[in-house]
């Protein structure tokens, strides 16, 4: 069934940042392709075939989209840039579906897009543990990401939980390689301009501990 054609349902635009995700990206795209109306994917410096895989996957499918390229600085900057590119596009959609290349969407209720109205929704993610994270954001929201790493979407109030879909988090993304050293460097740099940020201090200590 072509889920994109169902009337009365909000249109979703897949929004992601990716880099060197060739082993993962097609699985992610295949899982969301039936429920999205558009896509805006931002590559932050791949040296593998990730951009080509994205373009090849959507070529011939009736899902319009945009592939952008820019340099990664930190996660706050990159994710906000991806939001800005999507919001500024001429693509037709109502909500952004925020995903990671190593995640796989599971659709249990094909009607989950009906009656969406909140600014954002939290969606369950499952790996070793189960938790909810903001993964659906209305196009007209002005919410921004905060945090150079361990970033979060700063929205008004607690987002309602959306049932009918959830994500398998395979934890296989290449952004996890060298994560602790990378995060420590990002946090140390951020603390130079924001030395009293308790959140950064906490995550820096955690990253240095986990990096050994």
Average pLDDT for residues 75-85, to the nearest whole number? Answer: 97
Same domain, 31 and 54: yes
User: What are the φ/ψ torsions at residue 198 (nearest 5 degrees)?
Assistant: -65, -35
Q: 118 with 199, same domain?
A: no
- Looking at the structure, do residues 137 and 150 belong to the same domain, yes or no? yes
Least confident of 7-11, 55-59, 190-194: 190-194
Residue 26 pLDDT more than 80? Answer: yes
Q: What is the pLDDT of residue 1?
A: 28
Query: Based on the domain organization, do 96 and 127 belong to the same domain?
Result: yes
- On whether the pTM is more than 0.85, the answer is yes
pLDDT score, position 198: 83
Round the average pLDDT of the chain to a whole number and report it: 90
Structure tokens at 91: 């693509």
Contacts 24+ apart (CB under 8 A), 171-180: 171/102, 171/127, 172/23, 172/24, 172/102, 173/21, 173/24, 173/100, 173/101, 173/102, 174/19, 174/20, 174/21, 174/23, 174/24, 175/19, 176/102, 180/207, 180/208, 180/210, 180/211
Least confident window among 31-35, 43-47, 58-62 = 58-62
User: Are residues 23 and 111 located together in one domain of the fold?
Assistant: yes
Same domain, 145 and 123: yes
pLDDT band at 43 (very low <50, low <70, confident <90, very high): very high
Residues 94 and 145 in one domain: yes
Please report, for the domain that includes residue 89, its CATH number: 3.90.550
175-199 pLDDT, tens digit each: 555 777 877 777 787 687 888 888 8
Number of domains in the chain: 2
As beta bridge partners, residue 95 has 12, 138
Q: Are residues 164 and 189 in the same domain?
A: no
- Specify whether 53 is located in the same domain as 95: yes
Domain that holds residue 185: 178-211
Q: Based on the domain organization, do 55 and 148 belong to the same domain?
A: yes
User: Do residues 193 and 100 share a domain?
Assistant: no
**The token pair that represents 36 in the structure block:** 């999205």
Please tell me whether residues 141 and 206 are part of one structural domain. Answer: no
Share of the chain above pLDDT 90, in %: 71
Q: In this predicted structure, what is the pLDDT of residue 4?
A: 43
């Amino acid at each position: 069934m072509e889920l994109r054609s169902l009337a009365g349902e909000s249109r979703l635009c897949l929004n992601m940042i990716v880099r060197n995700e060739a082993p993962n990206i097609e699985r992610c795209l295949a899982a969301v392709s039936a429920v999205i109306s558009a896509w805006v994917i931002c590559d932050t410096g791949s040296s593998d075939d990730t951009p080509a895989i994205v373009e090849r996957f959507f070529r011939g499918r009736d899902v319009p989209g945009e592939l952008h390229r820019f340099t990664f600085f930190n996660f706050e900057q990159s994710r906000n840039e991806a939001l800005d590119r999507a919001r500024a596009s001429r693509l037709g959609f109502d909500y952004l579906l925020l995903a990671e290349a190593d995640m796989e969407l599971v659709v249990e209720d094909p009607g989950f897009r009906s009656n969406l109205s909140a600014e954002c929704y939290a969606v369950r993610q499952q790996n070793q543990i189960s938790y909810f994270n903001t993964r659906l954001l209305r196009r007209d929201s002005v919410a921004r990401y905060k945090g150079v790493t361990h970033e979060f979407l700063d929205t008004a109030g607690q987002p309602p939980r959306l049932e009918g879909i959830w994500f398998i988090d395979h934890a296989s993304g290449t952004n996890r390689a060298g994560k602790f050293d990378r995060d420590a460097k990002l946090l140390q740099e951020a603390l130079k301009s924001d030395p009293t940020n308790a959140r950064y201090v906490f995550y820096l200590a955690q990253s240095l501990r986990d990096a050994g």
